[in-house]
Chains A and B, each alone.
Chain A
Amino acid sequence: MTPQAKRRAFLVAALLVAGSALAVISAGGIGDNLVYYWTPSQVHENADKAVGATIRLGGVVQEGSVDWRPDSQSLTFTVGDGAHDTEHTLVVHAKSAPPQMFREGIGVVVEGTLTADGSFRADKVMVKHSNEYRAPTDGGDVKDLYATVEEL
């Protein structure tokens, strides 16, 4: 090997090592920072993974479940997979006021995590928010809901 070729081989090797190290490290980092798009029933199914993970919970606010206390700035409500789904529900606690269009029976996307006591702690509450010119429907398909709320 000429010194030239040697140096080049060394450079290539160094690049490969650096590159693969980076790949391994960052792929690992990705695993810890995933955001899951789950419905209440999926959260129940994945209860072991859900505690502490970032979840975008999509569901419908249940009738009669909203409790908003302005003095302590705390909001509690229950979401289900559908409008009248008593089976798969989750209690959500948020330290924020209900957004403008928030009401019972509306679709929401809530970002936060499952706590050890089985309730959901929300950092962000977003109302299903359609950019189409149509009246908001009650409930509706959860998949639609993600598509329409993401623009927030």
Chain B
Amino acid sequence: MLGRSAVLVALAACAVGAVAGIYGGARRSAEAERWARAMAWTFFFAITVAIGLMEYALLTHDFSVSYVAKVGSRASPTWVTIVSLWSSLEGSILLWAFVQGLYTAGLAWFTRRRFPDHSSYALGFTMAVGVFFCFLVAGIANPFTPMDPVPADGPGPNPLLQNHILMVIHPPSLYLGYVGMSVPFAMGVAALLRGSIPPGWSRALRTAALVPFGFLTAGIILGGWWSYEVLGWGGYWAWDPVENASFLPWLTVTAFLHSAMLMERKEQLKGWTLTLLMASFLLTILGTFMTRSGVFNSVHSFTQTPIGPVFLGFLALCLVFSVILLAARVDVLSAPEEGLSGPASRDTWFLAQNLAFTAFTFTVLLGTTWPLVNEALTGEKISVGEPYFDRWGVPLGLLIVFLMGVGPALPWGRATPQAIVRRFVVPAVAGLVTVAGAWAAGLHQPWPVATFGVSAFALVVTLQELVAPGLARWRSRGGNPVVAVLTGMVRARRRTGGYIVHLGVIIVAVAVAASSGWRNQKEFTLVEGQSLEHGGYTLTYLGAETVQKSNRTEEQARFHVARGDRSLGELHPAMNHYGRMPNPIPTPAVRSVPAEDLYLSLVSVDPAAGTVSVQVIIEPLIWWIWVGGGVMALGTIIAVWPSRRRLSAVAGRPATGRAAEPSTNPVPTSTEAAR
């Protein structure tokens, strides 16, 4: 089979490339590095051909291919057919290998004229990870197995997965995040083996980690949105093991992105920073294992497969490799470190941020893996309930938002007490006024109100920092203040991007606090023509209607929605019946406005008796979670976006050029002036 051959070519290219890259790194052989580069491109093209063939087979309904026979169906709409590539294990792993190829090619392109010291190792180790995934596609999870006899039609992908359009982007986004972590990992390994992190490499490392950070962020938020729109319980996050699996590397990579700034600026915390990097990569592998092994009870249990042990083996291998490498080589890196600059400096608060994120990672990891440990020890089947995670997640989340306000407001190095007072007065007042205002307005839930206050504090600091470079510019040069601020933001792209991500986090924090704090849920049973009142809405049940779609039958319950005398149209929550699937899938209907969502989810509908039971949920501000996620993704794009200035700056940078960070503080800001 052609597809299998392409996969085997990719596997061979990866294996040769990994050996050549590592050899080229160890012996500083330019010849071997050229080989590694050629193999990187071969890997990319071969795996692209493989995935192209699989999509072609899916679209032409070629049921002689095992994977198509497993997830294809002639009845599926085209978009479902396309996305069914990642609706089951074999296709997902193929997509995974393809993404690995994409990143490998990206790394080869990015390092083509730069970093001669490190790029060979980095390419080699990226392809070493690629070998593992190609090996899976070629062996255990081969999607190209020929079918005999060839079935006439297939069952189609899991109904839950065809129930919403978000399935198009949520899994690939997460995969891009997971797989992308192998690139900074390989780059970190290269730095350890080479025994040096020059400023240019440290920068490149941070950019390489920002890419998977952005995709992970988007993937997590999209997953929450999908859960909200499809699963019908009106929530978006359940501390489900597989959700946690994606959250853990997000936490550590976020910690890394911050401590990497210290590493870049002050040559501090190198060992710790690289540890976070390795941990992020290991957690993505652990996440894959948790998603794919089926040892956890999860909303993702449809992914249960026998592939778990293989992943566990790979995880163990990577873990041992990382620990040994760190232990053996980290001393080589340590430059004479200066100490932290005391409690009133940004450095110290970055460290506090790191500790908060590490603590968060630890508690989530503990709660997620505890059931496995417990079952192994006592044989008793348990899971850890949401209250455990909320109990730790809420205060830690609040602490993180608070630190997001404190850190940026302080200068690098030492600050005078007067400067500190000056920097903190306005944000602190904003926070206190918000708390007082919310309390006076009748909002009396301590955690959400505290979140509002801390968010206001962090928001003011973030906005101050966003406009600071531009304002300083305007003060010294005059001109149009708006233009000056915008110019300042554009010039300091990485810094601007970072603060926009912070803005996104603040939006998400406020939305999470409001929607969970004032969630208003009630269940009603109605007969046709009867009305219910809930949270200011009047809902009238108009009756049920059966709608036939190509891949499913929808039993819709029609509700007329009104607020006071104003009609707001109809909502149609439904029970979707899929072909041979015995149980219907309830599909909620949501009316979203920025102020609040009205969420209807059917419990049951009986057209014969004319009755319906429905959950009516009102969640304020929940819409802003998705907006905040979008803002975070946007900020990441801005931070990653290459600027011509930076490229030339890196190319022509002297060896000791770390002081010349071009994207931060092009002119003295008020922060620095305060020193």
Q: Which residue on chain B has the smallest CB distance to residue A134? A: B582
Cα-based distance from A95 to B615 in the complex (angstroms): 12
Whether B604 lies near A33 (C-beta < 8 A) is: no
Q: Does B479 contact A (CB under 8 A)?
A: no
- State the Cβ distance, A61 to closest chain B Cβ, in Å: 15
Asked if A22 is an interface residue, CB under 8 A from chain B, the answer is yes
Collect the chain B residues with CB atoms within 8 Å of residue A73's CB: 523-525
**Residues on B with beta carbons closer than 8 Å to the beta carbon of A29:** 388, 391-392
From 548 to 606 in chain B, residues with beta carbon under 8 angstroms from any chain A beta carbon are 575, 580-584, 586, 602-605
Partner of B384 from the list A30, A96, A130, A134 (CB cut-off 8 Å) is A30
Q: Does the CB pair B580–A101 fall under 8 Å?
A: no
B359 interfacial contact with A, CB 8 Å = yes
A90 to B298, CA, bound (A): 26
B195 within 8 A of A: no
Nearest residue, chain B, Cβ from A34 = B382
Beta-carbon nearest neighbor of B351 in chain A: A11
Shortest Cβ gap from A41 to chain B (Å): 14
- The one of B339, B385, B524, B525 that contacts A4, using a Cβ cutoff of 8 Å: B339
Give the distance in Å from the alpha carbon of A37 to the alpha carbon of B381 in the complex. Answer: 6
Instruction: Check if B160 sits within 8 Å of A97, measured CB to CB.
Output: no
Given contacts A18-B355, A30-B370, contact A37 B583 (CB under 8 A): no
Do residues B367 and A30 form an inter-chain contact, with CB atoms below 8 A?
yes
A30–B387 CA distance with the chains assembled, in angstroms: 9
Complex Cα distance, B156 from A133, in Å, reads 11
CB distance from B616 to the nearest CB of A (A): 12
Q: How far is the CA of A101 from the CA of B581 in the complex (A)?
A: 13
CB–CB A150/B388 < 8 A:
no
Complex: how many Å from CA A53 to CA B367?
A: 17
Chain A residue contacts of B381, Cβ below 8 A: 36-37, 146
The docked-state distance in angstroms from the alpha carbon of A135 to that of B392 is 42
Asked if B301 contacts A150 (CB within 8 A), the reply is: yes
- Asked if B416 CB lies within 8 Å of chain A CBs, one says no
Interface size class of A (residues with CB under 8 A): 35 or more
Q: How far, in Å, is A75 (CB) from chain B's closest CB?
A: 10
In the complex the two chains form, is B382's CB within 8 Å of A70's CB?
no
Known: A30-B370, A97-B613, A100-B602. A70 touches B525 (CB 8 A): yes
- Docked pose: A56 CA to B155 CA in angstroms: 31
Determine whether A98 belongs to the interface, using a CB cutoff of 8 Å to chain B. yes
The closest CB in chain A to the CB of B527 belongs to A70
CA distance A97 to B366 in the complex (A): 36
Q: Which chain B residues lie closer than 8 Å to A95 at the CB level?
A: 523
| B12 CB–A CB distance under 8 Å | no
Contact of B385 among A7, A22, A35 (CB under 8 A): A35
Q: Mark B48-82, 1 if CB is under 8 A from A, else 0.
A: 00000000000000000000000000000000000
Shortest CB distance B89–A (Å):
14
Q: Which residue of B lies closest to A70 (CB)?
A: B525
Provide the residues of chain A in CB contact with B434, threshold 8 Å: none
| 29 examples of A-B residue contacts, CB within 8 angstroms | A7-B339, A15-B355, A18-B355, A18-B359, A22-B362, A26-B392, A30-B370, A30-B384, A32-B387, A32-B388, A34-B383, A35-B385, A36-B380, A37-B382, A37-B383, A70-B613, A96-B523, A97-B603, A98-B613, A100-B586, A127-B583, A131-B160, A147-B301, A147-B304, A150-B297, A150-B299, A151-B299, A151-B300, A151-B301
Binding site for B on A (CB under 8 A): 4, 7, 15, 18-19, 22-23, 26-27, 29-30, 32-37, 54, 56, 70, 73, 95-102, 127, 129-131, 133-136, 146-147, 150-152
